[in-house]
Amino acid sequence: MAIPILQLKKGKERSINNRHPWIFSGAVAKLPENEEGTIVAVTDFENKKLGYGFLSHKSQIVCRMFEWDTLTEEVLTENYWAVKLKNAFALRQTVIQFGKTNVYRLLHAEGDFFPGIIADVYADVVVLQVLIRGVEKIVPAIQKALVEIGFKHIYIKAKTSSTVLEDIRTGSGWLLGGVEVPVIVKENDVLFEVDFIDGQKTGFFVDQRENRELLRSYSKGKKVLNTFCYTGGFSVYAASGGAEVVDSVDISKEAVALAGKNMELNYPGYKHGTIAADCFDFLGDIEKDYYDIIVLDPPAFAKSAKAVANACRGYKQINLKAFRKIKKGGLLFTYSCSQNIDKDLFQKIVFGAAADSYRNVRIIHQMHQPADHPINIYHPEGEYLKGLVLYVE
């Protein structure tokens, strides 16, 4: 079967030659009329083949490339996708300490040269988050590869408008096996309860593993406030590090309850404050100089380029509130997971908040996503998580 051709406009092949995986609609001379998710061969204006990608009529990114070997004509075979998955698993075997941790990211979309899919491992379960139609079409091949690696339980959370899996009418469900949910997982010897069916994204924010460990190292004898706490990850690590006080705040009552359950799972009877409240309001109302450490880990304020201006205001406001209330000599752990806010812009926002607080502030750590969330060097947009640990005089 002939692979359809997507032809670029003259002079628009440079980024593809540099292995950037996204092709925007404005760069396209001829777009095939095949259905959403079809694998296409990408050519320059002179019909020189550049590689292969998934077609997407419904997005400004009309093609997401996954292959730049112009000799490859086997992009529809199961073995091709199996090799990608096994390469990704080999990397995780290098960077994950499996004796201490059984929750990690197995596939990180463009970071693993596999756009449109996230795969997180929770103990014996792989949770797939399918983001584009092209990946949805090859789910059977992905499932087969995961079985070959040794996984026996596979759950899928499909975000596309339809599904090729006849037994999963809603787009989500068990592909293979099945376990009782929530499951208990271990991260750096800390336990967490994860609900990947009803929880946000795949159920747990795996990307903060190393940053939570850093907080643990600073927590002994400290009063710690964890805002936007969700599952209480930072809270449990603070308790593990010997914190005197740990308070968890989230606007969601369900999140606060889960944070409480995770604390009880690890430290039964620990005096843990759980507060369901708006974090902006809570920071404005708390006593000054009470907390030694404040963690700001909000959801993505900028989910699109149009939202950046409002997001900047939000990040500045929440950081300014923390600067004004944190104890002298305190530590502020502050993060942004907004892909549209790069690390330089984030640091400028935090600089503005620090300046308005009239306090001396020093950066002692710069943080980002861990090694199981690799950044494709040709796709710097994949560096979405950024964070600072700030010493506030």
- How far, in Å, CA of 294 to CA of 223, rounded? 9
Contact 156, 130 (CB under 8 A): yes
For helices 233-240 and 253-266, the axis angle rounded to 10 degrees is 30
For strand 61-67 and strand 49-55, is the pairing parallel, antiparallel, or unpaired?
antiparallel
Partners of 264 in beta bridges: none
For strand 22-24 and strand 61-67, is the pairing parallel, antiparallel, or unpaired?
antiparallel
Contact 282, 318 (CB under 8 A): no
- How far, in Å, CA of 49 to CA of 47, rounded? 6
Report phi then psi at 62, rounded to 5. Answer: -80, -10
Catalytically annotated residues: 337
Q: Is the dihedral of CA 16, 18, 22, 26 positive or negative?
A: negative
Token pair of 261 as six digits: 């359950």
Is 194 in a helix, a strand, or coil?
strand
Contact 141, 199 (CB under 8 A): no
Q: CA angle, 98 as apex, 152 and 232 as ends, to 5°?
A: 90
Report phi then psi at 48, rounded to 5. Answer: -80, 125
Residue among 108, 274, 261 at smallest CA distance from 199: 261
Residue among 263, 279, 181, 174 at smallest CA distance from 225: 279
Residue 47, Cβ neighbours under 10 Å: how many? 8
